[in-house]
């Protein structure tokens, strides 16, 4: 691994000019002949000498190694390339020699030895992912992972059988044997495996829902999308089960103590809130196990004080990968985290700060119509669908196969069964029903107030919908916000070609083009899967509105990251924003962060 060629190159580039072999020898207490022997590959320096050479040349020891085959190195190779002996790492990690040897050769740590991977990664100057790769290259680790794959899979799949509600128990013989292989208590292993079973059961339930949609969806397009999601869920389930031995190995080496896990969770929850990070700073500064999981944060406008930290990419990966396992092992930490959220949120719902940021970063705000501003057909939707089916039949359009209750979806379903003129006539009939319903439709709670609040700000506002433009305009004429005036909204209704309706991004593209907005600073507020998919296809921000958890879950499965229960939540966020002059970015009112 040591490279004489790289030593010669480093010596030639040292400082302001080349360093002679004799000068380097003097710096490290060696002879010129020894330095030349190192460079010519005749001798390999021991780890202390590698570190002396690196220090003299003012470079990291790894710069003196041939890194072409680094991915296949074991931990011992990485240690020696860093100029360290096993005893050096024993001292820095506080391990006895036999404990370190077991870590280096078999990747095993004793229960209660917290954060060893993090501290070892810092000592060796590599990322945690790279460290895990070097550890997994050890033959003993590979053999253990392969040996445990079958019993772990058997235990998990046994409890995933249809109708089973049981979970792995500490008294189970298989659980005891698996725990012994990881040098962990059976109770610890049982809690983790129970949580894994719960997670996989939820995924199997989602897969079953997608399977139902794949067979019974209203259209072939919906069935095809559901089939893709079903297959994707199956792939994720298989990957989770097959990767369980490796994930357990990695977790036990990097497991944080309860206090460290609480601090990392607080950093995740706080993100870049300066007040919250100020509260956490003392705990972070004193916890060496968090070193690779955090990053320094510039104080900016803060008063001088202790250094601040934010969660790093490595920390986010650790948090998201093992959150549920920590919750199973340290359930009491959740109560403390809820209290922390209450303190940092200053008495407001935790999603409001993020929602304010969504609005302040946007130039254009688009609304879906039915389900967001009103319920267009309310309880009359099946009657309208029935009349539309009859009208389609009179126009010789094949609507017999459509069994849904969405008139707009029915219009889409007959596009390929008739001429453009027939489809336009059916569209006209649907428009008549929609316009009549729009005269009676009542705005949903918070809709008028939200539009009124936004109309006072610098945003461009519009409605993008699969309903008729005339129906939306009719509804808006009797919409009276708190400020007594009808908000000025652009309306981009159903296109002439129904195939361009959502989830096609046509309406969003048209709106941003006509309004002159930047799609990267456009926000769509919608409630349907089609809205979420159209936003993703157009590359705009999306906020879903879903009162029911099942609906919210479906939106998130379609790619919606942010879902709220009602428009009043959005109104609460907008009401805290201080409006800037037109064309400038609005800001959050001071003191309301």
* Full 3-state SS string of 342-395: HHHHCCCCCCHHHHHHHHHCCCEEEECCECCCECCCHHHHHHHHHHHHHHHHHC
- List the beta bridge partners of residue 296: 309
Cα separation, 287 vs 315, in Å, equals 14
Query: Residue 246 pLDDT more than 90?
Result: yes
Which residues touch 491 (CB under 8 Å, ≥6 apart)?
462, 463, 465, 469, 472, 473, 476
The helix/strand/coil state of 296 is: strand
Query: Residue 53 pLDDT more than 60?
Result: yes
- Per-chain mean pLDDT for the chain: 84
321: tokens are 């990968």
Query: Residue 283 pLDDT more than 80?
Result: no
CA atoms within 13 A on the CB side of 292: 23
461 secondary structure, DSSP code: E
Query: Residue 499 pLDDT more than 60?
Result: yes
Bridge-based pairing state of the strands 577-578 and 587-588: antiparallel
Helix (H) or strand (E) holding 492: strand 490-492
- Give the pLDDT of residue 304: 41
pLDDT exceeding 90 applies to what percent of the chain? 39
Please state which of the ranges 247-251, 514-518, 530-534, 574-578 shows the lowest mean pLDDT.
Answer: 574-578
Name which of 441, 413, 439, 437 is nearest 427 in CA terms.
413
Cα separation, 586 vs 593, in Å, equals 14
101 secondary structure, DSSP code: H
Cα separation, 370 vs 233, in Å, equals 30
CA atoms within 13 A on the CB side of 356: 20
- Give the pLDDT of residue 568: 83
| pLDDT tens column, 107-133 | 999 888 899 999 999 899 888 999 999
How does residue 480 score in pLDDT terms, banded at 50, 70 and 90?
Answer: low
Q: In this structure, is the dihedral angle defined by the CA atoms of residues 391, 396, 400 and 406, taken in order, positive or negative?
A: negative
Q: How far apart, in Å, are the Cα atoms of 126 and each of 62, 196, 235, 296, 382?
A: 10, 30, 31, 18, 62
- Give the pLDDT of residue 560: 76
589 secondary structure, DSSP code: P
| Maximum pairwise Cα distance, the chain | 102
- Give the pLDDT of residue 519: 87
Name which of 312, 333, 200 is nearest 260 in CA terms.
333
| pLDDT tens column, 535-553 | 988 889 899 998 887 788 8
Cα separation, 232 vs 356, in Å, equals 33
Q: What are phi and psi of 82, to 5 degrees?
A: -85, 5
Contact 254, 318 (CB under 8 A): yes
Please state which of the ranges 207-216, 478-487, 528-537, 557-566 shows the lowest mean pLDDT.
Answer: 478-487
- Give the pLDDT of residue 337: 80
How does residue 298 score in pLDDT terms, banded at 50, 70 and 90?
Answer: low
- Topology, domain 348-376+443-593: Rossmann fold (3.40.50)
| pLDDT tens column, 357-376 | 888 888 999 999 999 999 88
How does residue 402 score in pLDDT terms, banded at 50, 70 and 90?
Answer: low
Cα separation, 388 vs 498, in Å, equals 15
CA atoms within 13 A on the CB side of 158: 15
- Give the pLDDT of residue 367: 96
24: tokens are 């380097």
How does residue 565 score in pLDDT terms, banded at 50, 70 and 90?
Answer: confident
- Give the pLDDT of residue 333: 86
Helix (H) or strand (E) holding 118: helix 116-124
Q: Who wins on pLDDT, 16 or 306?
A: 16
Q: In this structure, is the dihedral angle defined by the CA atoms of residues 130, 134, 136 and 141, taken in order, positive or negative?
A: negative
- Give the pLDDT of residue 581: 40
Compute the average pLDDT of residues 375-386.
Answer: 83
Q: Who wins on pLDDT, 415 or 46?
A: 46
Query: Residue 309 pLDDT more than 60?
Result: yes
291: tokens are 């070193």
194: tokens are 């129970």
- Give the pLDDT of residue 483: 46
Q: Who wins on pLDDT, 181 or 1?
A: 181
How does residue 266 score in pLDDT terms, banded at 50, 70 and 90?
Answer: confident
How does residue 16 score in pLDDT terms, banded at 50, 70 and 90?
Answer: low
Compute the average pLDDT of residues 369-388.
Answer: 86
Show me where the domains of the chain are located.
4-125, 140-253, 256-344, 348-376+443-593, 378-440
Q: Who wins on pLDDT, 400 or 173?
A: 173
Q: Who wins on pLDDT, 49 or 392?
A: 49
Query: Residue 302 pLDDT more than 50?
Result: no
Residue 230: burial class (beta carbons within 10 Å; 0-12, 13-18, 19+): buried
Name which of 180, 168, 113 is nearest 144 in CA terms.
180
């Amino acid at each position: 691994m040591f490279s004489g060629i790289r030593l010669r190159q480093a010596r030639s580039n040292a400082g302001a000019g080349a360093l002679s072999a004799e000068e380097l020898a003097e710096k490290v207490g060696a002879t010129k002949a020894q330095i030349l022997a190192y460079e010519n590959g005749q001798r390999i320096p021991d780890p202390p000498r590698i570190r002396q050479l690196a220090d003299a040349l003012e470079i990291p020891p790894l710069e003196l190694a041939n890194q072409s085959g680094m991915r296949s190195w074991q931990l011992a190779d990485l240690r020696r390339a860093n100029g360290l002996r096993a005893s050096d790492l024993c001292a820095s990690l506080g391990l006895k020699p036999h404990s370190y040897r077991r870590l280096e050769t078999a990747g095993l740590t004793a229960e209660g030895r917290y954060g060893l991977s993090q501290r070892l990664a810092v000592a060796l100057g590599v990322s945690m992912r790279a460290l895990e790769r070097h550890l997994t290259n050890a033959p003993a680790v590979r053999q253990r992972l392969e040996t445990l794959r079958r019993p772990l899979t058997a235990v998990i799949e046994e409890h995933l059988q249809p109708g089973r509600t049981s979970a792995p128990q500490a008294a189970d013989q298989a659980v005891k044997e698996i725990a012994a292989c990881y040098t962990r208590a059976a109770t610890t292993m049982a809690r983790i495996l129970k949580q894994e079973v719960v997670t996989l059961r939820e995924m199997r339930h989602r897969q079953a829902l997608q399977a139902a949609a794949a067979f019974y969806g209203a259209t072939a397009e919906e069935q095809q999308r559901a089939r893709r999601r079903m297959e994707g869920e199956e792939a994720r389930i298989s990957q989770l089960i097959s990767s369980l031995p490796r994930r357990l190995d990695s977790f036990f080496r990097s497991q944080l103590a309860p206090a460290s896990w609480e601090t990392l969770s607080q950093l995740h929850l706080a993100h870049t809130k300066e007040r919250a990070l100020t509260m956490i700073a003392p705990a972070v500064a004193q916890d060496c196990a968090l070193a690779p999981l955090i990053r320094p944060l510039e104080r900016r406008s803060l008063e001088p004080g202790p250094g601040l930290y934010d969660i790093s990419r490595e920390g986010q990966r650790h948090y998201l990968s093992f959150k549920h396992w920590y919750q199973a092992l340290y359930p009491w930490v959740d109560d403390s985290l809820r209290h922390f959220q209450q303190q940092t949120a200053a008495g407001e719902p935790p999603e409001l700060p993020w929602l304010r940021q969504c609005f302040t970063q946007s130039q254009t705000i688009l609304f879906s119509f039915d389900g967001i501003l009103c319920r267009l057909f309310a309880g009359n939707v099946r009657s309208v669908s029935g009349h539309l089916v009859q009208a389609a039949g009179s126009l010789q359009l094949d609507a017999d196969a459509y069994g849904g209750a969405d008139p707009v979806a029915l219009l889409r379903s007959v596009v390929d069964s008739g001429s453009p003129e027939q489809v336009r006539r059916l569209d006209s009939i649907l428009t008549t029903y929609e316009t009549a319903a729009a005269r009676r439709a009542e705005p949903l709670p918070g809709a008028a107030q939200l539009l009124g609040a936004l109309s006072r700000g610098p945003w461009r506002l519009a409605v993008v919908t699969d309903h008729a433009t005339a129906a939306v305009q009719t509804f808006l004429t009797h919409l009276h916000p708190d400020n007594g005036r009808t908000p000025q909204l652009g309306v981009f209704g159903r296109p002439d070609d129904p195939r361009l309706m959502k989830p096609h991004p046509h309406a969003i593209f048209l709106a941003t083009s006509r309004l002159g907005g930047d799609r990267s600073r456009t926000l769509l507020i919608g409630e349907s899967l089609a809205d979420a998919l159209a936003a993703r296809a157009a590359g705009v921000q999306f906020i879903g509105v879903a009162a029911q958890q099942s609906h919210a879950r479906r939106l998130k499965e379609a790619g919606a990251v942010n879902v709220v229960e009602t428009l009043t939540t959005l109104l609460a966020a907008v009401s805290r924003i201080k409006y800037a002059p037109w064309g400038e970015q609005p800001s959050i009112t001071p003191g309301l962060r």
